[in-house]
Amino acid sequence: MINNVISPEYNEEGRVMRRVRSFVRRQGRLTKRQEEALESEWAEMGIDFVNEPFDFAKLFNNSNPVTLEIGFGMGASLVTMAAQNPDKNFLGIEVHAPGVGACLASAKEENVTNLRVMCHDAIEVLDFMIPNGSLEMVQLFFPDPWHKAKHNKRRIVQVPFAEKIRSKLIDGGVFHMATDWEPYAEHMLEVMTSVAGYENVSTTGDYVPRPESRPETKFEKRGQRLGHGVWDLMFKRI
Q: Is 52 annotated as a binding residue?
A: no
Q: Is 217 annotated as a binding residue?
A: yes
Could you say which of 55, 87, 144, 206 is catalytic? 144
Report yes or no: 231 and 178 within 8 Å, Cβ to Cβ: yes
Q: Is 180 annotated as a binding residue?
A: yes
Q: Of 86, 83, 40, 81, give the one whose Cα is nearest residue 61.
A: 86
Instruction: Give the containing element (helix H, strand E) for 59.
Output: helix 56-60
Distance of CA 71 to the CA centre of its chain: 4
Q: What are phi and psi of 116, to 5 degrees?
A: -130, 150
Q: Is 144 annotated as a binding residue?
A: yes
**Residues in CB range of 7: below 8 A, 6 or more apart:** 18, 95
Q: Is 94 annotated as a binding residue?
A: yes
Distance of CA 52 to the CA centre of its chain: 20
* 232 labelled catalytic: no
Report yes or no: 46 and 104 within 8 Å, Cβ to Cβ: yes
Q: Is 236 annotated as a binding residue?
A: no
Maximum distance among all alpha carbons in the chain? 48
Q: Is 150 annotated as a binding residue?
A: no
Interatomic CA distance for residues 27 and 176, integer angstroms: 32
Q: Is 113 annotated as a binding residue?
A: no
Report yes or no: 14 and 158 within 8 Å, Cβ to Cβ: yes
Interatomic CA distance for residues 107 and 94, integer angstroms: 15
Q: Which residues are annotated as a binding site for substrate?
A: 148, 180, 217-220
Which residues are identified as catalytic? 144
Binding site: residue ranges? 69, 94, 121, 144, 148, 180, 217-220
